[in-house]
Amino acid sequence: MQSDQSGADYKKYMCLICGFIYDEAMGRPEEGIPPGTRWEDVPIYWVCPDCGAIKDDFEMVEI
């Protein structure tokens, strides 16, 4: 698992509606969210790119 400079592991969050995975290590550069962006720093208005679900509909997953 990749980690940031402080050694904290990057986590993944899954959309419970469609299964899309947000990976903190990858971010969403195509939407202006740089790699390494922590889930809590993803803007509150961001929605799932696959299905439009809101951040509340995501859950941390161990993969």
**Nearer to other proteins among residue 51 and residue 60 (C-beta):** 51
With beta carbons less than 8 A apart as the criterion, state whether 3 and 35 touch: no
Contact pick of 33, 46, 49, 55 for other proteins (by CB under 8 A): 49
60 sits near other proteins (criterion: CB under 8 A) = no
Tell me the window of 1-9, 13-21, 38-46 that interacts with other proteins (CB under 8 A).
Answer: 13-21
Alpha-carbon span 56 to 35, nearest angstrom: 21
19 three-state secondary structure: coil
**Nearer to other proteins among residue 6 and residue 56 (C-beta):** 56
31 three-state secondary structure: helix
